[in-house]
Amino acid sequence: MSGEPIKVVPMHVRLEYTVTAGCTYSRYLLALAKKQIIGGRCPRCTKVYVPPRGSCPTCGVPTGEEFPISHEATVTTFCIVNIPFGAMPFPPPYVVAALLLDGADLPILHLVRGVSPDQVRMGLRVRAVWVSDAELAPTVESIRWFEPNGEPDADYSTYEAHL
């Protein structure tokens, strides 16, 4: 409309990239396609990282020895997502937890299902639930989520140093 002031202008930005996972993270993703979770041990501080790291954040050297990690884990801290947003995996409420896999020194973040969100607690013992063999691929989505594995809750002392 002629004469009307202009207040805003829509501005769409779209940029396309080809990103690389890098050597180390690629090994982790390729292992997930084979239903394996890989950890890497820092040769200096001996901490086990999942996934292995191009640089140990405390020592500044790449993790060295790599080996399969248990699929069983302890819920350390967690949150219940209630607010809807664009790329949600499920309708809320759902749980995202920091999961300390047995044998690892730092937790990974993943979903916890198979239990009502208000029943999720620190110390809950869970196990990875994988997609079907046909759906396995080099992606963190090869693990669908983690579910309670029926074990008694882990004692706080087993994970307090990993929070």
Q: Residues 6 or more apart from 42 whose CB is under 8 A from it? A: 48, 49, 53, 56, 58, 59, 61, 63, 64
d(CA 42, CA 119): 35
Binding of residue 24 to other proteins (CB under 8 A): yes
Closest CB 62 distance from other proteins, rounded Å: 7
Q: Phi, psi at residue 110, to the nearest 5°?
A: -155, 180
The residues that bridge with 147 in the sheet, in sequence order, are 127
**Of 34, 41, 50, 59, the one binding other proteins by CB under 8 A:** 59
d(CA 26, CA 84): 31
Q: Contact between 136 and other proteins (CB under 8 A)? A: no
57 binds other proteins (CB under 8 A): yes
Interface region with other proteins, contact rule CB under 8 A, candidates 16-24, 98-106, 121-129, 142-150:
16-24
Cβ proximity to other proteins: between 48 and 56 the closer is: 56
> What's the min distance (Å) between Cβ of 92 and other proteins?
23
4 makes contact with other proteins (CB under 8 A)? yes
Among 39, 48, 52, 55, binds other proteins (CB under 8 A): 55
Structural tokens at position 49: 């990282």
CA atoms within 13 A on the CB side of 120: 25
The three-state secondary structure class of 110 is strand
Number of residues that bind other proteins (CB under 8 A): 38
- Alpha-carbon distance of 25 to 85, in angstroms, equals 27
144 neighbors 35 (Cβ within 8 angstroms): no
**Interface residue with other proteins, options 34, 46, 54, 109 (CB under 8 A):** 54
Judged by CB under 8 A, the stretch of 58-66, 79-87, 114-122, 150-158 that binds other proteins is 58-66
Residues found near other proteins in the complex (CB under 8 A): 2-27, 29-30, 53-60, 62, 138
